Amino acid sequence: MIAGTTLSTLEGYTLSMDFGRVKVAERPVLMAGILPTGGLAGLAATAPTTASATLTSSGTNVSNNDTVTLDGQTYTFKTTLTASTTAFEVLIGASAAASLLNLSYAVGGGGTPGTNFGSDTPPHPRMAPASVTSTVITFQSRFPGAIGNTLKVAKSAATLTLSGSVLSGGADAMLSVAGKDNGPHWTPTRTYTTTTTATTTDITVAPAAGQKIYLDDCLISADAAQTVSIVEETSGTVFAKVYIPANGTVQITLRDGIKAAVADKKLRAITTTTAATSITACYHSEA
């Protein structure tokens, strides 16, 4: 996998490669039952950008032992190479432009090793010359994305100017949601019910004809300790039973909800104590 070039999603998360590490970006809304506006057409991918910096010559040639340092690696300009093999030495050319070109060769691995620069100089592992003119070298991170913004640059030559002390402009690839999510693919209903006696109370209305009630959430509060059961109309099938302390509140939010077994039936709550009891039910109908 090439850093910065692979983009995928896992359980709704955006994944991108960044300098050999997996980055988890902001989570788009792709959960079951929820899609962005326009469905998958609402997703937008942004390609990564690569950080860079410029080194500009005044037009006057560099001097012997002037240096340029790229993310910790120092390149030294020399009127004559100490030896043709000396690593990280760059030959000063007949002009400022020739010297810049030799530096770009040393950093990127071009030109003639042993002539333009010491032949034991390896290409820079994290930076490369993206472009070279007679007065400007643009250095670029070898890795797309924001990681390039951490690469440092420096120089000692009075005739050279850097655009900054670090590379800039790098940004990670992203997969984003255009617009907003459409919410759940059902019409939710909320019913608030109160009772002060031990009784059986409807906590939902009847579902749409031929469908079943699906209880998504239920909040129960009471001012006296009691047991509350959630049951199906007519059959009395118990789906949940909770024990509520005095002046306590219990929330029922099961991972898969509570679905009635029989179509066209309401859900009810059976309270066991004379107490002020409040029940809020959130639910929808489905086949």
Distance CA 201, CA 194 (A): 9
**What are the CA-CA distances from residue 286 to residues 204, 214, 254, 266 (Å)?**
14, 7, 17, 13
What is the number of other CB atoms lying within 10 angstroms of the CB of residue 163?
A: 16
Residue pointed to by tokens 């060769």: 105
pLDDT tens digit sequence for 124-152: 999 999 999 999 999 999 999 999 999 99
Q: What pTM was estimated for this model as a whole? A: 0.52
- Please, are residues 124 and 73 in contact by the beta-carbon 8 Å criterion? yes
**What are the CA-CA distances from residue 49 to residues 8, 142, 146, 214 (Å)?**
17, 11, 8, 47
- Please, are residues 46 and 176 in contact by the beta-carbon 8 Å criterion? yes
Distance CA 142, CA 51 (A): 9
- Show the CA angle centred on residue 70, arms to residues 88 and 1, nearest 5°: 105
For the chain, what percent of residues have pLDDT higher than 70? 82
Residue 183 confidence (pLDDT): 55
Report whether pLDDT(266) > 70. Answer: yes
For the chain, what percent of residues have pLDDT higher than 90? 74
Domains of the chain: 1-46+174-183 (no CATH), 52-162 (no CATH), 189-286 (2.60.120)
Pairing verdict, β 160-162 and 153-155 = unpaired
- Both structure tokens of 146: 């924001």
Distance CA 225, CA 55 (A): 77
